Amino acid sequence: MSIRGSSLLGLTEFAHRDGVLHAEGVPVPVLAERYGTPLYVYSRSHLLGQYRRLAEALAPLDPTLFFAVKSNTCGAVIATLAEAGAGADVVSGGELFRARRAGVPADRIAFAGVGKTEAEIEQALREDILYFTVESEPELERISACAARLGLVGRVAIRVNPDVDPKTHKYTSTGKKENKFGVDLERARRAYERAARLPGIEIAGLHMHLGSPIMTRDPYVQAVEKVGPLLDELKTAYPTFRHLDVGGGMGIAYRPDQAPFDLDAFAEAIVPPLKATGLKIGLEPGRFITGNAGILVTRVQYVKDNPFKKFLVVDAAMTELIRPALYQAHHEIVAVEGTAETVLGDVVGPVCESGDFLAQDRDLPAVPAGGLLAVLSAGAYGAVMASTYNSRPLAAEVMVSGPRHELVRRRQTVEDLVRDEVMPRWE
């Protein structure tokens, strides 16, 4: 096997130069030395590049791109995108707080999620966000009651479940009729009628999200087609109905042989029908923007040979990146300093679970103990899904921009882990 190529997954921001992996202009060993491992490294240029590619491809729609904050809640990431003009798709009071703190204007925020509490709804009403994407009729009533109590108005876009198969993992498929999300097409009319009768509610639009990651344009095209007749009725019935939010889910390449999401083909197919609706279009991209903007850098602790298998035991684990354990997700793993040798085996972490692996039964770079590996495509659903299981402090996060690098989240300490604990005094 040859030295890992200079272009990883076609990325320009993470590439080997003279055998050393660079994040933009910064050698990754420099970052590992300075900030320690495990370490998340984000490329500012990739974040902005992906955001702009999407905005340009869909320019005829002048859409609002609500960055799906759940994919990466790092304040520096949100702020970078907010400065470029992104809004935010949030799913909790915590994400709403983070989005506002990072500078996202309230009138570019959409609030999704099946379990919004009264406190979260009141927080969003006080902030005067653009709209709630409403997942059920009881939620409509709760928003109405909160709005009436506060003397405010809650704008709502009902999440309609178009029953389209996004052809993704069953845990990340959300637009089929058996999923917990949204209301089905048949009941949507009734939900809007109910909304129209409730005080404190303004009908703002319709929302969909099909699942993630979606690799082709087809599910989007089918979904827009399916909701078309309903949109016509709603526009006529409710003068305040102005928004169509088609959600997120646009995929990225996780493997070298995987074709990336074809943005041009997507735009070509989706722009005309969306434009024809005459509505203000919104999208909620998360992974498309952040996925390949991040890598997880980890140091090999031990190379363990047992009679059946070889293990590279590293200092990152399912606690830093749970996607392999949770979804059997594939992440490319490369040597930070080029090696021509490969070994067949697993990359595992120190956590006491058999599910604690980052790669299984793969040709891996034969990096000795003390060497560095980079786990690619770790920018989305990576650090945000981290836990402190086994009392492992959360990893540090760094952003690079050209030759510069900045710590954007300091590594947790063990004191941080126990800071909120209280010892009972029973007398």
Ligand X SMILES: Cc1ncc(COP(=O)(O)O)c(C=O)c1O
Minimum CB distance to ligand X smaller for 241 or for 288: 288
Task: Rounding to the nearest 10 degrees, give the CA dihedral for residues 411, 414, 415, 418.
Answer: 120
- Which CA distances in Å does 140 have to 107, 146, 212, 332, 384? 20, 10, 26, 43, 29
* Binding flag, residue 209, ligand X (CB under 6 A): yes
CA dihedral 211, 122, 69, 217 (to 10 degrees): 30
68 binds ligand X (CB under 6 A): yes
Name the minimum Å distance from CB 165 to ligand X: 16
Active site residue 74: no
Beta-strand pair 64-68/404-409: unpaired
Q: What is the DSSP letter of 169?
A: -
β-strand pairing of 154-161 with 183-184 = parallel
Site for ligand X, residues 150 to 179, rule: CB under 6 A: 174
Binding residues with ligand X: total (CB under 6 A): 19
**In a 3-state reduction of DSSP, which class is residue 24?**
coil
Can you tell me the distance from the alpha carbon of 168 to that of 165, in angstroms, rounded to the nearest whole number? 8
Task: State yes or no: residue 365 binds ligand X (CB under 6 A).
Answer: no
Among 285, 349, 379, 382, interactor with ligand X by CB under 6 A = 285
At closest approach, how far in Å is the CB of 283 from ligand X?
Answer: 9
Does 382 contact ligand X by CB under 6 A? no
95 binds ligand X (CB under 6 A): no
Taking the complex as a whole, the smallest distance from the CB of residue 269 to ligand X amounts, in Å, to: 18
Label the pairing between strands 20-23 and 26-27.
Answer: antiparallel
User: Are the C-beta atoms of residues 55 and 62 closer than 8 Å to each other?
Assistant: no
Residues 212-241 that bind ligand X (CB under 6 A): 212-213
Residue in 162, 175, 182, 286 binding ligand X, rule: CB under 6 A: 286
First-to-last alpha carbon distance for the chain, in angstroms, is 67
Nearest to 284 by CA among 380, 191, 202: 380
323 binds ligand X (CB under 6 A): no
Residues 324-363: x/- map of binding to ligand X (CB under 6 A)? ----------------------------------------
**Pattern 240-279, ligand X, x by CB under 6 A:** -------xxxx-----------------------------
* Residue with nearest beta carbon to ligand X: 286
- Comparison of 110 and 399: residue with beta carbon closer to ligand X: 110
Of these residues, 138, 151, 257, 352, which one is catalytic?
352
Show the beta-strand stretches assigned E in 189-315. 201-207, 243-245, 280-283, 294-305, 310-314
Q: What is the set of active-site residues?
A: 352
Interface ranges with ligand X (CB under 6 A): 68, 70-71, 89, 112, 174, 209, 212-213, 247-250, 284-288, 380
